[in-house]
Every structure is written in C-alpha cells, then in structure tokens.
Amino acid sequence: MSGPDRASYDTVIIGGAVMGSSLAYWLSENPDHDGTVLVVEPDPTYEKSSTTLSEASIRHQFSEPVNIRLSMFATEFFADFHQNVQVDDEAPGLCFRETGYLFLATDDGMDVLRENHEVQRSCGAEVALLTPGELADRFPYLFVEDLAGASLGLRHEGTLDAYCLMRGFQQRARHNGVEYLTDRVVDLRLAGADDGGRRVTHVELASGDVVSCGRVVNCAGPRGRWIAEMAGLELPVEPRIRAAFVFACREALDGPTLPLTIDTTGVHVRTEPPHYLAGAPPLDDVEVDPDDFAVRHDQWEEVIWPALAHRIPAFERIGVTHSWAGHYAYNTLDHNAVVGPADAVPNFYFCNGFSGHGFQQSAGVGRGLSELITYGEYRTLDLAELGHDRIVRGEPFLEKAII
Ligand SMILES: Cc1cc2nc3c(=O)[nH]c(=O)nc-3n(C[C@H](O)[C@H](O)[C@H](O)COP(=O)(O)OP(=O)(O)OC[C@H]3O[C@@H](n4cnc5c(N)ncnc54)[C@H](O)[C@@H]3O)c2cc1C
C-alpha cells in the first residue's frame, strides 16, 4: 500500500464509490475550486459497495420536489454523459434502457398516488395516472382486478449501468488531478471548543498514515454512521439488507416491455434482459452487520414469488437464475438523504442515508456539495431540506415514495 502524495489536503472524501466520486468529479471540474482533493477508499474493486450491488434504476416519481429535481438533473447529466466524463474521447457507456416505473395502488394507496402525481407534474415530470382499465389495455399481462389505479412514468425512467456511472466520475476526477488512495479511515482528530467551533484537523488511516485536512466528507455509504461517530456526530443511518433475484420465465409476456413495477405488496420487478429482476424489503427489516451479504432465500419463496405470480400470472412458471444482496444506507428518521455540513463540526460534511435512490441522486448531490464547499452556498439546486440540522432537531423530512 503506497501512502498519500501529500501530508495535507483541502478536502478528504471518505469512500470512493458513486457519491464520493461524483463529489470528486464536480469539485475538480469547477474552475473556481482550486483545492486539493483526496479520496480514501479501502476497496478499489468496489465489489461490496452499494453502488455496484445496486439495481441501478432512475425514476422521477417521488413525493418530495427536491428528490424529483435531483433525478431530473440526473436525466440531463446522463444525456450528455460521454461529453461530461470523457477523457481523450473515451467514456464508459451507461446503457440506459427507458422502461418507466409503474406504481400500482389499491383504494388505500390512491390518495397518496394522486398527491404524488400532482407534485411530480408541478415539477415537470412526465407521468400519467391510469385506471385499472387503461392499465389492462396497456399491459395485458397484468392482473388488475384488485387495483384502483397506477402511476406510470412516460419518459426518462429506467435502468442504467451503475458501475459505468461510478467509473465515469472516477476517470474524469483522476484526470483532473484528484488523488485516490487505497486505505481505510479509522479515526478522525478534532480540535476546538464544543460551541460549534470544533473542527476535524486530521484523518487517521488503517495503514498508520495520518493526513491533515481542511474538511472531510462522509461518503461511506452503509458505514456512514461510524464515520459520523468518529466526529461525535449523530447519524440515524443503518445498513439494511436488500436482495435482488434474477429469474427466467418460460413464456414471453404478451405486451409491451414490463416497466419497473412496484406492486401493492412492496415487491418490485423489472426486466433484466433476457430475464427479469425482483426484490422487496426483507421479512425482518432491521439493521444488519455491514459484512452480512447473505441472500434471504425465504423471502423469495414466501413473499416475492407469490406476489409476482398474483400480479403477472405468467410468473407462476419462473426459476431464479442468480441473486445477490447489498445494503441500503437506511435513514430511520425519514428515509431521506442527509447532505451538508454539521453545525457542531462545520468542516464535517454528510453525504449519507440514500436508501434505494442514491445512484440516481449522485450527480445532483455531488454537484450541490461541490457548490457548498466552493461558494459556501447552493447555486443550482437547493438541497438545504436534506441538511443535518433536521436530524439534530429530530424533525423528519419524509419521502413517501420509497422502494
Ligand atoms: C439492492 C440494491 C438496489 C438498489 N437500487 C437502486 C436503484 O435502482 N436506484 C438508485 O438510485 N439507487 C439504488 N440503490 C441505492 C444505491 O446503490 C446507493 O444509494 C448508492 O450506491 C450509494 O452510494 P455511496 O457512494 O453513498 O455508497 P457505497 O456505494 O456503499 O460506497 C461507500 C464506499 O465507502 C467506502 N468506505 C466504507 N467505510 C470506509 C472507511 N472507513 N474509510 C474509507 N472508505 C470507506 C466503502 O468501501 C464503499 O466503497 C440500491 C441499493 C441496493 C443495495
């Protein structure tokens, strides 16, 4: 393991997956930012990061405008991805498949679906509410008799390649001079008084190296709470297991491509050509050990398969081809991200708690944090509602459309 090039950096980013690398990208792209940036990441394969274990989909259907706008910005960024991240005209391909998201609802869920629809439309999202009849006409393979309606994303929603997004940010950030170090942050040193004047001064690494820093940014995903604790800060984010099951179906579905469909049971399913992919919260949705990646197969048998077979009768005859499990960084207060500085330690920045929507928020959150660091304010999209102050006050900022 070779050590850092310098003894001191303006910004140390803890965690180099999609969030850490997006921030590194945006800082290094901005001509107004002239600071040094170090990204510390223990695993350069990223095989256990949430990013590479993600289902890598993007939607505009959220309940909170800030989340809708973050995804809408991602759509813009992805459209020019090659131009944005290319180095010597080379860039990874994002392989976007525009399938739409389809949220299904019974009578109980229709009010929330309608409310969310109004908010989405007011933000400019291209979405449509469908009656059960319209749903059956459009997707004849769906069983709709127990449904009251659905919300369908008409444009810009679908699936991409999460690894390539992360690699794109990384290649350009490195090209711009950002340093990546293979090491693990094991502690933070702080100085100053407890009245808001405390500052992180040094980052201690597993190798024994210590680097001095102007600020740190916590991009440690499901392990983010432990980084916050190193600075004496509260972060109600825990690792929760989420498994993805890829399955083959004997029959082709008779109709247009299956959107990413969220059933009323909480089970979701989408295409994973030539197969399908499904998931759901586990039966016992609690904090897990961050090294626990065991797939809960009882979940498939007891919850997912029955729900799939009910909603799409052709899915009676399916078989799992493979499965994997990753972790949501799950914010137990309100399911929303925590982004921005800590009042008690102003040079400690949060970039945490993205549950199942961090992949699509990475471009917008990285851009926002880079503005906050460079100018001391958000200049494009205001992310203040996601700030840490609400955690300190214990006031939830609830996102209702969580998968
Ligand atoms: C099964 C599944 C499906 C998902 N589907 C979607 C989806 O469809 N759409 C979507 O938008 N999002 C989805 N997500 C969520 C998304 O993957 C995450 O929100 C996003 O990848 C978070 O990125 P991150 O960089 O914050 O965290 P991570 O990708 O987990 O990266 C954190 C990094 O920090 C590093 N780290 C940890 N501790 C330390 C330390 N002490 N020092 C230095 N580095 C450290 C880790 O090695 C890791 O590489 C899904 C997640 C899962 C698990």
Domain boundaries, the chain: 8-72+162-236+334-393, 97-158+238-330
pLDDT score of 283: 86
Region 8-72+162-236+334-393: CATH code: 3.50.50.60
Q: State the sign of the Cα–Cα–Cα–Cα dihedral 285, 365, 116, 305.
A: negative
- Tell me: cis bond preceding 92? Omega within 30 of 0 counts: no
Does residue 358's CB lie within 6 angstroms of at least one atom of ligand 1?
A: yes
In this structure, the chain runs to a length of: 403
The domain 97-158+238-330 is placed in CATH, from the list 3.30.9.10, 3.20.20.10, 1.10.1060.10, 1.10.1740.10, at 3.30.9.10
Rounded Cα distance, 214 and 203, in Å: 10
**Cα 54 to averaged position of ligand 1 atoms, centre (Å):** 8
pLDDT in tens, the chain (403 residues): 689 999 999 999 999 999 999 999 999 999 999 999 999 999 999 999 999 999 999 999 999 999 999 999 999 999 999 999 999 999 999 999 999 999 999 999 999 999 999 999 999 999 999 999 999 999 999 999 999 999 999 999 999 999 999 999 999 999 999 999 999 999 999 999 877 789 999 999 999 999 999 999 999 999 999 999 999 999 999 999 999 999 999 999 999 999 999 999 999 999 999 999 999 999 889 999 999 999 999 999 999 999 999 999 999 999 999 999 999 999 999 999 999 999 999 999 999 999 999 999 999 999 999 999 999 999 999 999 999 999 999 999 999 888 8
Does residue 360's CB lie within 6 angstroms of at least one atom of ligand 1?
A: yes
Q: Maximum distance among all alpha carbons in the chain?
A: 67
**Cα 165 to averaged position of ligand 1 atoms, centre (Å):** 13
Best residue among 14, 49, 166 to mutate for probing ligand 1, ranked by most atoms within 8 Å of CB: 49
Contact 201, 190 (CB under 8 A): yes
- Asked if domains 8-72+162-236+334-393 and 97-158+238-330 share a fold, the reply is no
